[in-house]
Amino acid sequence: MLKVLGYAAGASLPLLAGALIGVRWRPPRQLVATALAYAARALIASVSFELFETSYRSGGALRAGLSFAAGALVFVVADYALDRKTAGNPTGWALLAGVTLDGIPENTALGVSLTEAGSVALLVAVFASNFPEALAGAVSMQDNGRSKKSVVSLWAGATVLLAVAVFVGRFAFAGASPETLALPLAFAGGAVLTSVIDTLAPEAFSEGGPLIALASAAGFVTGYMLSL
């Protein structure tokens, strides 16, 4: 139980920490972009070597491939619906909802990985992505008229939701066979990879420059090394 609590805290508390700092400090845009570039590549490595590869070895190509495609499709549909619903509100709830939509499959996959040893690589990648997203989101919300208390409260709610996702992933699949675990792992991998390409990567690479490229390389190496 302590390990589950540790993973839940490590994956979700960066949202609250980022919001608390964001309402008091405006970070340079390139610094946020660099952090997001690092996180994007770390997530790609984690999906490749922790989620999909594990699913492929346990469940086979067909099971892993179909589950991966289903996860990608579900994210795209949900993200499209979210974009239409929040089209007139590019900040505030839209930012928060986008991060939450990304975070649910990531944190659920973390919980599923805890049925075995737990994925340190995915935990680091989720931590690295949640903190700068919440930091930038909190700044944008405040710029658009939300009070500091309101901003922190919203991100605190997201923190609780994503922590719960870790517990759901862990206990919903307790005692499941490797073939069964292959399904949620590949599904989450498809959703996470699609979210990286759709939301995280464009934010990360909007600034460009050598620091972005170096951060991307460092993120991939970190994700790969932690997956060994």
**pLDDT single digits (tens) 14-31:** 999 999 999 998 888 888
Q: If you write DSSP's letter for every residue of 190-214 in order, what string do you get?
A: HHHHHHIIIIIHHHHTTS-SHHHHH
What mean pLDDT do residues 55-64 have? 94
Note the pLDDT of residue 142.
Answer: 84
Q: What is the pTM of this model?
A: 0.84
Q: Rounded distance, CA 100 to CA 113, Å?
A: 20
Query: Nearest to residue 126, comparing CAs of 221, 215, 45, 31?
Result: 45
Query: Nearest to residue 18, comparing CAs of 123, 145, 155?
Result: 155
Note the pLDDT of residue 98.
Answer: 66
What mean pLDDT do residues 132-155 have? 86
Note the pLDDT of residue 45.
Answer: 92
Residues in CB range of 187: below 8 A, 6 or more apart: 67, 68, 70, 71, 74, 105
What mean pLDDT do residues 134-151 have? 84
Q: Each residue of 187-225: pLDDT tens digit?
A: 989 988 988 888 788 878 887 788 999 999 999 999 899
More confident site: 208 or 38: 38
User: pLDDT band for position 88 (50/70/90)?
Assistant: low
Is the CB of residue 169 less than 8 Å from the CB of residue 108?
yes
What mean pLDDT do residues 160-181 have? 89
Q: Which amino acid is at 10?
A: G
Note the pLDDT of residue 32.
Answer: 86
What mean pLDDT do residues 167-173 have? 89
Q: Is the pLDDT of residue 89 over 60?
A: no
- The whole-chain average pLDDT of the chain stands at 86
User: pLDDT band for position 94 (50/70/90)?
Assistant: low
Q: Where are the domains of the chain?
A: 2-19+29-227
Q: Rounded distance, CA 98 to CA 32, Å?
A: 17
Query: Nearest to residue 95, comparing CAs of 194, 19, 13, 27?
Result: 19
